[in-house]
Amino acid sequence: MFSSAGFAKTWQYIELFKQGLITTLSLSALTVIFGFILALIIALIRLSRIRPFDWLATAYVEVFRATPMLVQLFIVYYVIFGNISVPSFKLFGFIRFERFLPGVVALSMNSGAYLSEIIRAGIQSIDMGQTEAARSLGMSKSMTMKEIILPQAIKNILPAIANEFVTIIKESSICYTIGVQEIMYAVNATKGATYRIAEPLIIATVVYFCLTFPTSKIIAYFERRMSRGDKR
């Protein structure tokens, strides 16, 4: 199954894995940022109860949660970006932008739907008295949201957000199907060149674990920091 010769062969292509790691990191980081912004907007629209926007936001969330990620990715890549011309250049000298961008868009749209539900639940879990106290002090709606509600809501939902971030890193592997050179793409390329599959997969597993495990640990650290107000 495994052999040191196999690892030696695979190791010749380690550069592909390095590139894959950088691509996966960029893909996930951008998805986390855009997905979170999108999620916040969707959550606030849903909570605003302004018709028909709240209805549209709800429909968006339901559609993205009820369909496979792969279908969404293909629709974004082949259908939407198939009709838009994207400048083709290489990020860092190897990431093909015209494939990378649709990947970021599809992942962000998908995680935005999931995260928005988490954020919405977090906002709704905050006692109405908090809003009333802030508004009675003359603070505006948006100021209340930013200073009072969101800090408490985000603290409460941090474990769920961490989970979603870890999911994004793992889900980003699906982008190899549209030719984004992330880690799974490196596995496939190495497989084709060396006829070895077990060793590249082992390397991919280790790399993914090294990405996701510290991510959850870092968020756990922030969780402890933000819960200072909970200690007696």
Contact residues: another protein, CB under 8 A: 127, 129-130, 132-140, 143, 147-148, 151-152, 155, 226, 228-232
Residue 222 tokens read as 């922030």
Tell me the three state secondary structure of residue 95.
strand
- Which residue's CB is nearer to another protein, number 85 or number 142? 142
The enclosing H or E element of 5 equals helix 4-11
> Residue 182, by phi and psi: left (phi above 0), alpha (psi -120 to 50) or beta?
beta
- Asked whether 105 and 189 are in contact (CB, 8 A), the reply is no
Residue 147 tokens read as 């200073």
Q: Give me the least distance between CB of 133 and another protein, in Å please.
A: 4
CA distance 228 to 38: 29
Strand partners, 95: 91
Q: Give me the least distance between CB of 161 and another protein, in Å please.
A: 17
Q: Give me the least distance between CB of 227 and another protein, in Å please.
A: 9
Q: Give me the least distance between CB of 107 and another protein, in Å please.
A: 31
Q: CA dihedral defined by 7, 12, 16, 22, rounded to 10 degrees?
A: 80
Give the count of beta carbons closer than 10 Å to the beta carbon of residue 105. 19
- Which residue's CB is nearer to another protein, number 98 or number 223? 223
Nearest to 223 by CA among 163, 172, 171: 163
- Which residue's CB is nearer to another protein, number 59 or number 133? 133
CA distance 168 to 184: 14
**How far does Cα 39 stand from its chain's mean position?**
11
- Which residue's CB is nearer to another protein, number 140 or number 205? 140
Q: Give me the least distance between CB of 46 and another protein, in Å please.
A: 22
Q: Give me the least distance between CB of 171 and another protein, in Å please.
A: 31
